[in-house]
Amino acid sequence: MGAFKEPHGGELKNLYLSEAEAAAEKQAARDFPSWDLSERQICDIELLLNGAFSPLDGFLNQDDYDAVVDGMRLTSGVLWPMPITLDVSQAFADSISGGDRIALRDLEGVVIATLEVGDIWTPDKAREAEGVYGTTDEAHPAVHYLNNIANPVYVGGRLFGIESPTHYDFKHLRETPEEMRDRFRKLGWRRVVAFQTRNPMHRAHQELTLRAARDVEANLLIHPVVGMTKPGDVDHFTRVRCYEHILARYPEQTTMLSLLPLAMRMGGPREAMWHAIIRKNYGCTHLIVGRDHAGPGKDSKGEDFYGPYDAQELLTEHAEELDITMVPFRMMVYAENRAQYVPIDETGDDDHVLNISGTELRRRLAEGLDIPDWFSFSDVVDELRRTHPPRHKQGFTVFFTGLSGSGKSTVANALMTKLMEIGGRPVTLLDGDIVRKNLSSELGFSKEHRDLNITRIGYVASEITKNGGIAICAPIAPYTATRRNVRETIKPLGGFVEVHVSTPLEVCEERDRKGLYAKARAGIIKEFTGISDPYEEPENAEIVLDTTEISPDLSAHKVLVKLEALGYIR
Ligand code: PPS
């Protein structure tokens, strides 16, 4: 354990200009070329400006970038594992040169900082992926981001901070490194162990943090990431409410909760080292590093990207240089026979060990099943249940697709009435004709216009689903790719059930309720689906209904039965 220095953590960069300088710079920035920061860049810039990324004083220039990618160090020799780069479009890069000053704006157009442009270069992304993450497999979230979301050109240079990115949420829990050090100093916390997390905390986490703090005789900082975490994680609003409940369960005056607006890369060992340096900058003396710290999950062959203890090994290797001590985390499990949590390496053959995985927890939430007391605290579980209601309380979309005259609208109407009879959730019908009148009145029937029409329907349905309602859509939706996009937008927000109304063209044409087929055959209506325009048959619809032989009532009933089987109604 290294001797404690006061204040701990070494020199802290503060890249903000003084008030007067910032006012002048803001005025001058009106004439600078301007770059709108992405969500990740806003996270990075906040931590650059407030010193959490000390010793960096801006986005990396090319020689530092090369040194970090290849050797995990800046050119000065200081350990720095993660390339913090400003990625911009080719067009923007072409409009600036080294020595220029550029304005960096948040999503609302507020100038957060200016950058004195240093190097401008096109990185070899495969080399960056291999060097930093040890893989070019896009199943790794950071490699996916690098290849598909990040812009192609990097701009390095010094930053001049004008104002901190705005946060409207949990202001009372957001400390800068300087504020955090001040608080530790004021409270006399000479040794502080940080706990990094991107998940809700349950009893096992509390047990292990308490043990870690006791073992190294330190106070505890719960320091969850609230910037960008792994896609699919529990949203930070829910998590922070859970952390607030759990905080109340630590012995008084021992533990603090503060939020870290970091954009994680899920970079395993290198990310663990980055986390350690950041926590040192916040004034912590220790960091808990567990099994598979900042792990990205499985690669495209189903193998782990990193070994479970690679992160601990890397930190051990560089322990001398790090100026923050790792507390290796032993996984805590519940031994039912002892009615207590114990480190897994202290369990024996006689112990009956219980565990609930993240996947199992999500299943129990989705199905409204019991989550036992030994696993979590009731107020934490209540909080999770509020934002992860069981399926019968979630919103969902029923998306009918089929030819004109196939019976979509009639079945959709029957379904709507039956769902309203069941009650409990508001039901909205987005029928083809209704939408074309109220949402898409300017659109025709070209592929482009049909796609736009379906995208709009998908957007409205996604909002309804997100807010717990039922959306019934009944457009022709002739294109597979567009239907898939709608599915992918809605699926993470609730249920999505595609119903292919497969009534054959001959039957639809025979019915010809609106006389449109006759007009299409006569060439009076152009681009008519099934006659002079394509209909791509769905391959993965949850339900296929041919209304030639069955009534609308029975058709709607079949949809209800499916919704019941999936758990969306009961
Ligand atoms: S799409 O392709 O999903 O955007 O079509 P949609 O919004 O469902 O609109 C289909 C209704 O518009 C009438 N109509 C046509 N349909 C297909 N092709 C052409 N060219 C066309 N022109 C007008 C038709 O009444 C469709 O209604 P439904 O209820 O499907 O019969």
Catalytic residues: 197-199
Are residues 556 and 412 located together in one domain of the fold? Answer: yes
E-assigned strands of 162-191? none
Are residues 178 and 156 located together in one domain of the fold? Answer: no
Are residues 30 and 101 located together in one domain of the fold? Answer: yes
The pTM of the full predicted model, rounded to 2 decimals, is 0.83
In 10 A of CB 35, how many CB atoms?
A: 21
E-assigned strands of 387-542? 396-402, 427-431, 470-474, 495-501
- Which of 108-122, 156-170, 361-375 shows the lowest per-residue confidence on average (mean pLDDT)? 361-375
Instruction: Tell me, yes or no, whether 358 lies in a domain.
Output: no
Give the domain CATH number at 151. 3.10.400.10
Instruction: Tell me, yes or no, whether 354 lies in a domain.
Output: no
pLDDT confidence tier of residue 433, bands split at 50, 70 and 90: confident
Q: Note the pLDDT tens digit of each residue in 280-334.
A: 999 999 999 998 899 999 999 999 999 999 999 999 999 999 999 999 988 899 9
Instruction: Tell me, yes or no, whether 473 lies in a domain.
Output: yes
Instruction: Tell me, yes or no, whether 352 lies in a domain.
Output: no
* CB neighbour list of residue 514: distance below 8 Å, 6 or more residues apart: 404, 405
Instruction: Tell me, yes or no, whether 557 lies in a domain.
Output: yes
Structure tokens belonging to residue 434: 């209704």
In 10 A of CB 80, how many CB atoms?
A: 24
Q: Give distance in angstroms: CA of 157 to centre of ligand 1.
A: 54
Alpha carbons 528 and 244: distance in angstroms, whole number: 58
Are residues 315 and 194 located together in one domain of the fold? Answer: yes
Instruction: Tell me, yes or no, whether 376 lies in a domain.
Output: no
Instruction: Tell me, yes or no, whether 169 lies in a domain.
Output: no
pLDDT confidence tier of residue 432, bands split at 50, 70 and 90: confident
E-assigned strands of 84-170? 86-88, 101-105, 111-121, 153-161
Number of domains within the chain: 3
Q: Give distance in angstroms: CA of 513 to centre of ligand 1.
A: 13
Pocket test for ligand 1, best of 399, 401, 404 (most atoms within 8 A of CB): 404
Q: Is residue 393 scored above 60 in pLDDT?
A: yes
Are residues 499 and 554 located together in one domain of the fold? Answer: yes
Q: Note the pLDDT tens digit of each residue in 45-63.
A: 999 999 999 999 999 999 9
Q: Which of 114, 131, 161 is the last residue of a domain?
A: 161
Sign of the alpha-carbon torsion through 510, 515, 518, 520:
negative
Q: Answer whether 226's CB lies under 8 Å from 261's CB.
A: yes
CA-nearest residue, atom 26 of ligand 1: 404
Q: Note the pLDDT tens digit of each residue in 17-36.
A: 999 999 999 999 999 999 99
For 231, the domain range is 174-260+266-333
Read off the pLDDT of each residue in 78-105 and give the average, rounded to a whole number. Answer: 98
Q: Answer whether 92's CB lies under 8 Å from 115's CB.
A: no
Q: Which of 292, 313, 333 is the last residue of a domain?
A: 333
Are residues 319 and 419 located together in one domain of the fold? Answer: no
The residue assigned the tokens 């560089």 is 318
pLDDT confidence tier of residue 9, bands split at 50, 70 and 90: confident
Alpha carbons 72 and 65: distance in angstroms, whole number: 9
Instruction: Tell me, yes or no, whether 54 lies in a domain.
Output: yes
Read off the pLDDT of each residue in 55-83 and give the average, rounded to a whole number. Answer: 98
- Tell me the H-state helices in 378-470: 378-387, 408-422, 432-438, 447-466
Q: Is residue 498 scored above 80 in pLDDT?
A: yes
Q: Is residue 1 scored above 70 in pLDDT?
A: no
**Ligand 1 nearest atom to the CA of residue 532, by list position:** 20
Q: Note the pLDDT tens digit of each residue in 181-234.
A: 999 999 999 999 999 999 999 999 999 999 999 999 999 999 999 999 988 889
Structure tokens belonging to residue 550: 């069955």
For the chain, the farthest-separated pair of C-alpha atoms sits apart, in whole angstroms, at: 90
Q: Which of 333, 354, 382 is the last residue of a domain?
A: 333
Give the domain CATH number at 506. 3.40.50.300
Q: Give distance in angstroms: CA of 525 to centre of ligand 1.
A: 11
Are residues 196 and 102 located together in one domain of the fold? Answer: no
Q: Note the pLDDT tens digit of each residue in 330-381.
A: 889 999 999 999 998 899 999 999 989 888 998 999 888 999 999 999 999 9
Degrees (nearest 5) of the Cα angle 149, 40, 92?
60
CA-nearest residue, atom 9 of ligand 1: 432
Are residues 150 and 210 located together in one domain of the fold? Answer: no
* CB neighbour list of residue 387: distance below 8 Å, 6 or more residues apart: 234, 235, 237, 238
Rg (CA), the chain: 28
Are residues 435 and 492 located together in one domain of the fold? Answer: yes
Give the domain CATH number at 305. 3.40.50.620
pLDDT of residue 138: 94
CA-nearest residue, atom 12 of ligand 1: 433
Alpha carbons 224 and 236: distance in angstroms, whole number: 9
Are residues 460 and 514 located together in one domain of the fold? Answer: yes
Are residues 67 and 113 located together in one domain of the fold? Answer: yes
Degrees (nearest 5) of the Cα angle 463, 464, 467?
85
Are residues 535 and 397 located together in one domain of the fold? Answer: yes
Residues flanking ligand 1, CB < 6 Å: 404-405, 409, 432-433, 436, 445, 450, 453-454, 475-478, 514, 516, 525, 527-529, 533
Structure tokens belonging to residue 298: 């499985």
Q: Is residue 128 scored above 60 in pLDDT?
A: yes
pLDDT confidence tier of residue 7, bands split at 50, 70 and 90: low
DSSP state of 114: E
pLDDT confidence tier of residue 6, bands split at 50, 70 and 90: very low
